[in-house]
Amino acid sequence: MDIAYLETERLTLRRFTSDDADLLIELDSDAAVMRYLTGGHPTAPDIVREQHLPNIIAGYERWRGDLGLFAAYEKDGGAFIGWFCLRPEPQGPLDEAELGYRLRQAAWGKGYATEVSRALLGRAFTRLGIRMVWAETMAVNHGSRNIMEKLGMTLTATILTPPDMEMVEGSEHGGVRYEITREQWLQQ
């Protein structure tokens, strides 16, 4: 494992490498994990290997290793639990970043998403010059919405369901966007 990007009490985040395709393929093959993303359909392995992973790795160079999508491992035992991201939109301003995560079912309900997301907000606002962090999810994804609210993020918009997600259960309710600014974070 290479140098840690971020450590929390229970987890370590590091950059993905070209050897990590199987981890992402396994994660994206779990119907429950993909429920609110693809309606439970797995991501094709060749898409992961030829598109997703190369884009993830290219992001480290694009954002000087400060932002991107990072593999998460338990400190106790070293199990891969999924990934977290803190990154701008592809053509967006560098002082606005998306917060996101995708976790294996074995990691659900342990508080990992809140723990790491809190640490990522701290890093964004104290070390990276980020002005605002945002996150989006389906309106019916109450688990993720609860985490965003625990982090002090504010519901700022409702979002129409994109055509490629209309087959997902609950898509008729659309999505939601939450945001938190550096100033709001400092007031917590």
- pLDDT at 117 (0 to 100): 98
Taking the complete model, does pTM exceed 0.75, yes or no? yes
Q: Residue length, the chain? A: 188
Q: Are strands 154-159 and 132-138 parallel, antiparallel or unpaired?
A: unpaired
Selected residue with higher pLDDT from 165 and 134 = 134
Dihedral (Cα; 142, 148, 149, 155), 10-degree rounding? -90
Q: Is the pLDDT of residue 165 over 90?
A: no
Q: Give residue-wise pLDDT tens across range 6-37.
A: 999 999 999 999 999 999 999 999 999 999 99
The predicted model gives 119-135 an average pLDDT of: 98
Q: Is the pLDDT of residue 1 over 50?
A: no
Distance between CA atoms of 54 and 68, rounded to whole angstroms?
A: 12
Dihedral (Cα; 143, 146, 152, 154), 10-degree rounding? 90
Q: Identify the H or E element spanning 35.
A: helix 35-38
